[in-house]
Chains A and B, each alone.
Chain A
Amino acid sequence: MSSSNGKLESRIPAGALDEKWAKRKSELKLVAPNNRRKFTIVVVGTGLAGASAAASLGEMGYNVIVVCIQDSARRAHSIAAQGGINAAKNYPNDNDSVFRLFYDTIKGGDFRAREANTYRLAEVSNNIIDQCVAQGVPFAREYGGLLANRTFGGAQVSRTFYARGQTGQQLLLGAYGALMRQVDAGRVKLLPRREMLDLVVVDGVARGVVTRNLITGAYERYAGHAVLLCTGGYGNVFYLSTNAKASNVTAAWRAHKRGAFFANPCYTQIHPTCIPVSGDHQSKLTLMSESLRNDGRVWVPMKAGDKRPPNDIPEEERDYYLERKYPSFGNMVPRDVASRNAKMVCDEGRGVGPSGLAVYLDFRDAIQRDGIETIRSKYGNLFHMYEKITGENPYQVPMRIYPAVHYTMGGLWVNYDLESTVPGLFVLGEANFSDHGANRLGASALMQGLADGYFVLPYTLPGHLAGRKLGDVDTDHEAFKAAEKEARERTNKLLAVKGSRTVDSFHRELGLIMWNHCGMARNRKGLEEALQKIPALREAFWKDVRVLGEGEDLNQELEKAGRVADFMEFAELMVRDALHREESCGGHFREEYQTEEGEAKRDDENFRYVAAWEFQGVGKPAELHKEALEFENVELTQRSYK
């Protein structure tokens, strides 16, 4: 492993924190309205980031081509976000501000994000709420008709805007509506059921993509002057996660192989409140919104192995461990802290339920205090969902919850303008690495996706379009032909294996390696073991995977096989990143590096940097590049939520 930092230029503007974005905007070049139609922008993905960016660019007058994997742009996985979206409006008058939102976010990220990016995120947060309300997003309101707020983890103010337990759905439908308006206007060409299989780079600049039409199997080429990757996170490398089944790393990974550096891949978020695994048949995990921790109390029995039904365990024999250990934040500690503590009590043998891998989230006291109707109006849909999945009534018995993979803070490296190390390739939303550091606070993912798409990229993209000489490139260019050929060969290779094992069986096995060795807690021995197991599994996959059918029609096994093949390569990078980072921070918990109380122990002297990895070939260690993180406005402290 060699390292250098020559290739990373973050382009963070000089000057005071609160003037950086204004300064950058004033420097950026513009494209005049009547010239915009001469530029074509290719957008991959229609979640909050992709839909908001594509709609905004269409409104400005660019030609936009959008591809998405689902049958409709409205189904991207942003739709499943439940709890809310943060903004620094300070409507509740509880002394919130842009600075506080910035500070909570950067501290929540365990000081592993860029100050400038995180501040900008907080700065534009208020515009997002304005935009969404104008689109008709039905946020929760008070009787006086004004917007309501609630509290989320890692904050001591109420700054989260929400739409029942369906905030992601309502925000996405707003962005999807804006996108469809541009389709109607002829500015956006929308192509669903396409999977990006390669990025096309011409003269060092991203100029398009190769996709496979999932219905006809046809390979298609789309050329433009810039490519926007808005393809979400890679949590499904664990097989079991709260991500949608089609969520994958393929688009990001193929871009990585074409020169985009991958940053901090080991930063994964394990969400504390998910429904526990019930059996081997399990295909995905379901999140129960963090907002439930506003009223639910987390506990386990005092004694290990206490198998009594929860309601038979008297008050004095319950351990409300978060309230006990973190009196000022209590049940509202950030996600990484809550998850780690759940694991600790289960490791002590105090876990509950048939598997012993669960803790209680109890609404008994909230129901007594506020009445069942109040609780129903706040969380009715979540309680309903819980009952459907588990067959238990959470109004009567406490919910059982356990941490599950939920979000990935790592992603393709981007500079302040959201541009990757491949010029012309911009990366937005969860697919980039930039704003959340080593742990993301609740209600910040929606904020970042929409900030990037509505209010950052539309300003920074013209810097590329007007700032570089972009020659004419069409889809007959050699680079397109070569990329398509490679994509075809890869697909044919998968079909030609004709082995004996299903794609899912390989994916499950990979997921288990990752969960056991690179999950909630990691150590050198386990990570080194994973580095042995992954290449062996990858080899077995290419020798023995069974993909039936042909490549010329809808073939869902073939789609999965391509994605799992990429996860098999990506997993190795993730483990290497976890191994090299010899500290604990946020969601990356290395057992060797913890405080006496079992909290994450950072090493700011040696690891206060972004690890950006450059691809060197499959199975070959990637080259590490370091971007030092400068903190001029916050003091690096041991995070405390006590």
Chain B
Amino acid sequence: MSESTMKLTLKIWRQSSAASAGRLETYELDDVSSDMSFLEMLDILNTQLIEKGEEPVAFDHDCREGICGMCGCMINGKAHGLERGTTLCQLHMRKFNSGDTLVIEPWRAKAFPLVKDLVVDRSAFDRIIEAGGYISVSTGSAPEANGLPIPRDCSELAFDAAACIGCGACVASCKNASAMLFVSAKVSQFALLPQGQPERQRRVLRMVEAMDNEGFGNCTNEFECEAACPKEISVSNIARMNREFLGASIKAT
């Protein structure tokens, strides 16, 4: 595909800290190559800002190949932008048109406090995993790997859930800022696998409790999370988690 250059108007959320007031700043950018990734476009902007003596825009990123889950922001109201199944770093400028205006904002959720500009604190996700997002098997105590055959379909379904990268787009795209897609993906992965059975009930109860404590909202079946998810994790995981939670709650009472 041939390269072209474009002009863009960027309206970017600038906020120096959680305590200070934020605002949208407007920047004009010429000579954006259609072959650039979205983050490379931000790199160019930052270079220009530094050359002018202005502070660059803070944004999180690391692997730049769509797997670490570090990057993410809203582009014109869509988490990671309009392209389906794509993280911000894998979104390329050829998906935009010269003359476009892009409003770029951080994830907005009570449970993801703002740090600076486009950077937010997603440590709530780690605390949810801490509450049970694992199988308790200490190093050295594992049985022989092929001792437990697992039907391929079951393994594949678990994989579909395990593909979550923890970026937080599901929360950012949900009008309730619910974390149900994230939590249900981990609950599902282990509920579907035989290794996950011993802790199945305890896991879902503890993880849901941790999720509630972090201040995430409830799910009202809008499915925006699935549409925004760069790994296209299915909302059927949420239905599965609801069943798991209900079943575990009944047994626990």
Determine whether the beta carbon of B139 is less than 8 Å from that of A56. Answer: yes
Query: Can you name the residue of chain A whose Cβ is closest to the Cβ of B83?
Result: A388
Tell whether, in the assembled complex, residue B151 and residue A79 are in contact, meaning their CB atoms are under 8 Å apart. Answer: no
- Residue B122 at the chain A interface, CB threshold 8 Å: yes
Centre residue among A132, A144, A163, A388 by max chain B CB count within 10 A? A388
Distance of A79 Cα from B144 Cα, bound (Å): 25
B26 proximal to A (CB < 8 A): no
Q: Are the CB atoms of B1 and A143 closer together than 8 Å?
A: no
The segment from B102-110, B190-198, B212-220, B240-248 that touches chain A is B190-198
Q: Mark B42-71, 1 if CB is under 8 A from A, else 0.
A: 011001001101111010111111111110
State whether B43 touches A554 (Cβ < 8 A).
no
Contact check, B159 vs A138: say whether CB atoms are below 8 A apart: yes
Choice from B55, B90, B135, B163 contacting A134 with Cβ under 8 Å: B135
Which chain B residues lie closer than 8 Å to A52 at the CB level?
139
Q: How far is the CB of A101 from chain B (nearest CB, A)?
A: 16
Chain A residues lying within 8 Å of B138, measured Cβ to Cβ, are 56, 59
CB-CB under 8 A from A7, the residues of chain B are: none
CA distance A455 to B142 in the complex (A): 13
Q: Does the CB pair B90–A72 fall under 8 Å?
A: no
B139 with A388: CB separation less than 8 A: no
Q: Are B47 and A502 in contact (CB under 8 A)?
A: yes
List 23 contacting pairs A-B, 8 Å CB cutoff, sorted by A. Answer: A72-B69, A72-B122, A72-B123, A72-B125, A72-B126, A72-B166, A129-B145, A130-B144, A133-B195, A134-B145, A136-B193, A136-B196, A138-B189, A141-B155, A169-B165, A279-B3, A279-B33, A279-B36, A283-B64, A284-B64, A287-B65, A548-B56, A553-B17
Option from A144, A180, A284, A548 in Cβ contact (under 8 Å) with B130? A180
Chain A interface residue count: which class?
A: 35 or more
| Separation of A71 and B133 alpha carbons in the complex (Å) | 18
A105 to chain B, nearest CB (A): 21
Expressed in whole angstroms, the minimum distance between the Cβ of A389 and any Cβ of chain B is 7
- Pair B92/A391 contact, Cβ less than 8 Å: yes
C-alpha gap A127/B60 in the complex (Å) = 36
Q: Does A170 contact B (CB under 8 A)?
A: yes
User: Quick one: which of A408-439 are within 8 Å of B by CB?
Assistant: none
A142, CB-defined interface residue at 8 Å: yes
B1 touches A392 (CB 8 A): yes
Chain B positions 109 through 141: 1 when the CB is less than 8 Å from some CB of chain A, otherwise 0: 000000110010111011001111111111111
> For the complex, is A164 an interface residue (Cβ under 8 Å from B)?
yes
| A146 and B70 alpha carbons, distance in the complex (Å) | 34
B6 surroundings in chain A (CB, below 8 A): none
Give B195 Cβ to nearest chain A Cβ, in Å. 5
Q: How far is the CA of A581 from the CA of B142 in the complex (A)?
A: 44
**A46 → chain B, closest Cβ, in Å?**
11
The complex places the Cα of A3 from the Cα of B68 at a distance, in Å, of 43
Q: Are B135 and A135 in contact (CB under 8 A)?
A: yes
- Which of B44, B139, B193 is close to A454, meaning CB atoms less than 8 Å apart? B139
Q: Are A184 and B121 in contact (CB under 8 A)?
A: no
**Does residue A491 face the partner (Cβ distance < 8 Å to B)?**
no
List 3 tightest A-B contacts by C-beta distance, closest first. Answer: A145-B149, A177-B134, A391-B1
* A246 close to chain B: CB less than 8 A: yes
| Cβ 8 A contact of A91, one of B68, B70, B146, B193 | B146
Least distance between B191 CB and chain A CB atoms (Å): 10
A138 to B163, CA, bound (A): 10
Give 5 new A-B contacts, CB below 8 A, not counting A134-B195, A278-B3, A281-B44. A75-B68, A79-B67, A131-B137, A178-B137, A554-B115
The answer to whether B94 and A391 touch across the interface, beta carbons within 8 angstroms, is: yes
Q: Is the CB of A136 within 8 A of B65?
A: no
Query: Does B55 contact A549, Cβ atoms closer than 8 Å?
Result: yes
Cβ–Cβ contact B126 & A180, under 8 A: yes
Across the interface, do A548 and B64 meet the contact criterion of CB distance under 8 Å? Answer: no
A136 touches B158 (CB 8 A): yes
Q: Could you give, for residues 282-311 of chain A, a 1 whenever the CB lies within 8 Å of some chain B CB and a 0 otherwise?
A: 111011000000000000000000000000
Q: Is B237 interfacial (CB-CB < 8 Å)? A: no
Contact among A145, A181, A554 with B152 in the assembled complex (CB-CB below 8 Å): A145
Contact status A246-B62, CB under 8 Å: yes
A207: B residues at CB distance < 8 A: none
Q: Please indicate which of the listed interface residues B53, B58, B67 has the most CB atoms of chain A within 10 Å of its own CB.
A: B67
Q: Is there a chain A Cβ closer than 8 Å to B86's Cβ? A: yes
Bitwise, B156-196 to A at CB < 8 A (1) or not (0) is 10110011011000000000000000000000011001011
Of B92, B143, B190, the residue contacting A130 (CB under 8 A) is B143
Q: Cα distance A133–B196 when bound, in Å?
A: 11
Decide: A556 and B144 in contact? CB cutoff 8 A: no
* Contact present for A138 and B62 (CB under 8 Å): no
Query: B39 within 8 Å of A by Cβ?
Result: yes
B201 in contact (CB, < 8 A): no
In the complex, the chain A residue whose C-beta lies closest to that of B16 is A553
Residues 352-395 of A, flagged 1 when their CB comes within 8 A of B and 0 if not, give 00000000000000000000000000000000110011111000
| Chain B interface helix/strand/loop/mixed | loop
Task: Please encode chain B, from 75 to 87, with 1 for each CB lying within 8 Å of some chain A CB and 0 for all others.
Answer: 0000000000110
Check if A544 is an interface residue, CB within 8 A of chain B. Answer: no
Is there contact, CB below 8 Å, between A133 and B145?
Answer: yes
Q: How many angstroms from the CA of A174 to the CA of B94 in the assembled complex?
A: 36
A72-B126, A138-B193, A166-B163 known; A146-B149 Cβ under 8 A: yes
Q: Name the one of B68, B129, B145 contacting A79, with C-beta atoms under 8 angstroms.
A: B68
Given A557-B50, A557-B56, do A181 and B136 touch, yes or no (CB 8 Å)? Answer: yes
Is A504 engaged at the interface, CB distance under 8 Å to the other chain?
Answer: yes
Taking the closest CB of chain B, its distance from the CB of A448, in whole angstroms, is 16
Is there an interface contact between A134 and B137, defined as CB atoms closer than 8 Å? Answer: yes
Do A145 and B159 have beta carbons less than 8 Å apart?
no
From residue 260 to 281 of chain A, which have CB atoms closer than 8 A to chain B?
278-279, 281
In the complex, per-residue mask of A36-72: 1 if CB is within 8 Å of any chain B CB, else 0? 0000000000000000100110010000000000111
A232 to B194, CA, bound (A): 34
Q: Is the CB of B92 within 8 A of A388?
A: yes
Contacts of B224 in A (CB 8 A): none
In the complex, the answer to whether B64 meets A192 with C-beta atoms within 8 Å is no
Q: Which B residues lie within 8 Å of A388 (CB)?
A: 86, 90-92
Rounded to whole Å, the gap between the CB of B32 and the closest CB of chain A is: 9
Instruction: Return chain A residues, CB-CB under 8 Å to B24.
Output: none
* Contact in complex: B155, A245 (CB < 8 Å): no
Residue from B1, B142, B151, B166 in contact with A390 in the complex, judged by beta carbons closer than 8 Å: B1
**A169 and B195 form a contact (CB under 8 A):** no
Which residues of chain B have C-beta atoms less than 8 A from A147's C-beta? 145-146
Bound Cα distance A556, B50 (Å): 12
Inside 8 A of B137's CB, which chain A residues have their CB?
131, 134-135, 178
B69 — which chain A residues lie within 8 A by C-beta?
A: 72, 74-75
Q: Give A76's nearest chain B residue, CB to CB.
A: B68
Contacts of B33 in A (CB 8 A): 279, 281
Q: Which residues of B contact A75 (CB under 8 A)?
A: 62-63, 68-70, 166
Interface assignment of A244: CB less than 8 Å from any CB of chain B: yes
Given contacts A75-B62, A385-B65, A557-B50, contact A278 B35 (CB under 8 A): yes
Are A71 and B130 in contact, with the CB atoms below 8 A? no
Q: Chain B's nearest CB lies how many Å from the CB of A57?
A: 9
Residues of chain B within 8 A of A120, CB atoms compared: none
Query: Given that A79-B67, A142-B152, A279-B33 are contacting pairs, would A130 and B142 also be in contact in the complex, using a CB cutoff of 8 Å?
Result: yes
